């Protein structure tokens, strides 16, 4: 095969299917995703409802209400990273995102490791999101008493249902996701307005909470890795997965233009809506900061305190829909990653995982694997709360590592790019954006690596790399030719 760096451009940037042929593949999916669907995939993975409900209690106890101001900072930093990803997604519009980019810009071995870290991240976050669906949304909504075994079994059933939807129909799952995104946006904006109105009309709120450290220690609050810095978990855990729209490039109409905008808009809208919501619920705590900080469901308690129990129940319904859709999108993204690597023969049983029976459905066995691994982990570790916490933390650390590695990949291979009219480009702002993304990622990695609070997450991340080394060794001895084989470029800008 020809070298992907020297292979000439064969296709027009307006012909999305021709990019697939240029990469050495046949088009296997029907392109059904437009501007809103692509945005909805990215927004649903972020799922500010899921993230804020899951981590707001951690913020209150580590940093107090004032920790909410890390959210807009994280939003700006993440937008800069998304802009860098947008330039790569435009130049290499293929499913498999970082795996494809690294395989073509560096070499297939480096690409495999990008793919493995992405797979580990998507698996970890599937577990944390679907377990949250059972624990903090479905069980409270139905009034069921929660215990770890029932939670694990329910989570496994949810994952089976999500896999079935992925295999059945991409248009159906995107319609479900579109409804979920609309409901989530409506609920978050509506709640923000209602809580604000309740505080202004009924009193009982306190905007002084916006600068309060609450139950967090005030000593060294703004110091290096002090309490305020710990609140960055709010954005680090929530503002991830927006790149999932790039993982569905081969199912998107005009992906070179649509996907970069979808990624950036999803982060921007999540950041704005999330900031306003956090300001509202922080003020809505009134003088009950200490009591609410001790709650296992502080956001729900604040909503009940300000707007009443009925709206709290309605919110739980919306939360259920949003978290289910979030898990659905994550598993869909993972199935496309597995399929993309299998298509190149770079996973065990590649021929099986690469099968796509229908152009409007998902890859069957890739979706089964994307569900089976998290199901086995969930059932195997259900009684170990530290294990599940570790997977939650790993789902925060691994994307930070992946984003950092991808930005470094962009910087080191930028000299290979040739501009084309249909590329997503930042013009004179390119290097300021890249430098800003590097600064943000350095801060994020420092927060997630140095404090002892994240040791369990680090051990789990290291564990996934060890497992990856074992899988890589097996592939090296059984299908080395596939593991190192170069493929068509699929790169308009090289």
pLDDT digits (tens, 9 = 90+) for 463-487: 899 999 999 999 999 988 888 887 6
CB atoms within 10 A of CB 142: 9
Mean predicted lDDT score pLDDT of the chain: 88
Q: Which of 182, 132, 124, 177 is CA-nearest to residue 158?
A: 132
Cα 162 from Cα 332, distance rounded (Å): 9
3-state helix, strand, coil in the chain (%, to 5): 75, 0, 25
* Sign of the CA dihedral running 94, 99, 102, 107: negative
Cα 311 from Cα 402, distance rounded (Å): 39
Average pLDDT over residues 81-98: 93
Q: Residues 6 or more apart from 277 whose CB is under 8 A from it?
A: 48, 52, 188, 191, 192
Tokens at residue 169, please?
């129909």
pLDDT at 12: 38
End-to-end CA distance of the chain: 16
Q: Domains for the chain: give ranges and CATH numbers.
A: 16-484 (1.20.1740.10)
Q: Angle 170-202/298-307 helices, nearest 10 degrees? A: 50
Q: Which of 440, 450, 399 is CA-nearest to residue 128?
A: 399
pLDDT digits (tens, 9 = 90+) for 136-194: 778 877 878 777 888 889 999 999 999 999 999 889 999 999 999 999 999 899 989 99
Q: Residues 6 or more apart from 253 whose CB is under 8 A from it?
A: 16, 31, 32, 33, 34
Give the three-state DSSP class for 204. coil
**Confidence grade of residue 202 (pLDDT, cut at 50, 70, 90):** confident
CB atoms within 10 A of CB 209: 22
User: Which phi and psi angles does 486 have, rounded to 5°?
Assistant: -85, 150
Cα 396 from Cα 458, distance rounded (Å): 10
Q: What is the DSSP letter of 11?
A: S
* Sign of the CA dihedral running 186, 174, 155, 75: negative
- Are 266 and 85 spatial neighbours (Cβ–Cβ below 8 Å)? no
Q: What is the DSSP letter of 210?
A: G
* Count of residues making up the chain: 494
* Sign of the CA dihedral running 395, 80, 406, 337: positive
Tokens at residue 489, please?
């470029």
Q: Which of 359, 362, 345 is CA-nearest to residue 476?
A: 345
Q: Which of 238, 180, 189 is CA-nearest to residue 41?
A: 180
pLDDT of residue 11 exceeding 70 = no
* Longest CA pairwise span in the chain (Å): 71
pLDDT at 84: 96
Residue bearing the bigger pLDDT, 300 or 122:
122
- Are 184 and 47 spatial neighbours (Cβ–Cβ below 8 Å)? yes
Average pLDDT over residues 339-344: 94
The DSSP code sequence of 133-190 is IIIIIIHHHHTPPP-HHHHHHHHHHHHHHHHHHHHH-HHHHHHHHHHHHHHHHHHHHH
CA distances from 165 to 29, 159, 184, 385 (A): 16, 10, 20, 29
122: left (phi over 0), alpha (psi -120 to 50) or beta: alpha
pTM of the entire predicted model: 0.90
pLDDT digits (tens, 9 = 90+) for 389-435: 667 777 788 999 999 999 999 999 988 877 778 889 898 999 999 99
Q: Across 266-346, where does the E strand assignment appear?
A: none
pLDDT of residue 6 exceeding 80 = no
**Confidence grade of residue 490 (pLDDT, cut at 50, 70, 90):** very low
pLDDT of residue 386 exceeding 80 = no
How far from chain centre, in Å, is Cα 93? 19
pLDDT at 345: 92
Q: Find the angle CA(145)-CA(377)-CA(238) to the nearest 5 degrees.
A: 75
- Are 340 and 112 spatial neighbours (Cβ–Cβ below 8 Å)? no
């Amino acid at each position: 095969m020809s070298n992907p760096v020297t292979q000439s451009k064969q296709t027009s940037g307006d012909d999305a299917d021709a990019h697939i042929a240029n990469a050495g593949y046949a088009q296997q999916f029907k392109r059904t995703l437009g501007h809103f669907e692509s945005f909805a995939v990215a927004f649903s993975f972020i799922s500010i409802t899921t993230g804020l409900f899951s981590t707001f209690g951690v913020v209150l106890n580590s940093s107090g209400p004032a920790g909410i101001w890390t959210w807009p900072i994280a939003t700006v930093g993440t937008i800069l990273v998304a802009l860098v990803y947008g330039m790569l997604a435009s130049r290499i519009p293929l499913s498999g995102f970082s795996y494809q980019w690294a395989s073509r810009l560096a070499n297939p071995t480096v690409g495999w490791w990008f793919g493995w870290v992405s797979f580990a991240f998507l698996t970890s976050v599937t577990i944390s999101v679907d377990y949250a669906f059972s624990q903090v949304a479905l069980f409270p909504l139905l009034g069921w008493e929660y215990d770890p075994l029932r939670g694990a079994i329910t989570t496994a059933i949810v994952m089976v249902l999500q896999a079935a939807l992925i295999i059945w129909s991409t248009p159906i799952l995107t319609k479900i996701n579109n409804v979920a995104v609309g409901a989530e946006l409506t609920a978050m904006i509506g709640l923000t307005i209602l809580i604000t109105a309740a505080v202004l009309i009924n009193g009982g709120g306190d905007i002084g909470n916006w600068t309060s450290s609450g139950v967090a220690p005030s000593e060294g609050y703004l110091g290096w890795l002090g309490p305020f810095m710990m609140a960055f978990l709010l954005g680090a855990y929530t503002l991830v997965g927006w790149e999932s729209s790039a993982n569905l490039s081969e199912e998107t109409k005009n992906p070179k233009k649509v996907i970069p905008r979808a990624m950036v808009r999803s982060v921007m809208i999540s950041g704005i809506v999330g900031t306003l919501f956090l300001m509202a619920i922080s003020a809505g705590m009134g003088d009950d900061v200490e009591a609410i900080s001790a709650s296992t469901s502080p956001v729900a308690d604040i909503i009940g305190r300000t707007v009443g129990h009925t709206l709290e129940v309605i919110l739980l319904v919306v939360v259920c829909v949003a978290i289910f859709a979030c898990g659905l999108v994550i598993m869909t993204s993972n199935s496309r990653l597995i399929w993309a690597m299998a298509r190149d023969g770079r996973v065990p049983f590649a021929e099986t995982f690469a099968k796509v029976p229908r152009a409007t459905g998902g890859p069957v066995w890739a979706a089964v694997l994307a569900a089976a691994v998290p199901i086995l982990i969930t059932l195997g570790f259900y009684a170990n709360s530290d294990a599940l916490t570790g997977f939650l933390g790993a789902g925060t650390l691994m994307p930070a590592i992946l984003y950092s590695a991808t930005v470094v990949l962009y910087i080191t291979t930028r000299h290979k790019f040739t501009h084309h009219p249909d590329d997503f480009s930042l013009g004179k702002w390119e290097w300021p954006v890249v430098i800003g993304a590097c600064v943000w990622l350095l801060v994020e990695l420092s927060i997630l690596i140095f404090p002892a609070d994240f040791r369990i997450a680090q051990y789990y991340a290291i564990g996934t790399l060890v497992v990856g080394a074992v899988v890589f060794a097996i592939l090296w001895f059984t299908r080395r030719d596939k593991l190192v084989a170069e493929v068509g470029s699929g790169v308009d800008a090289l």
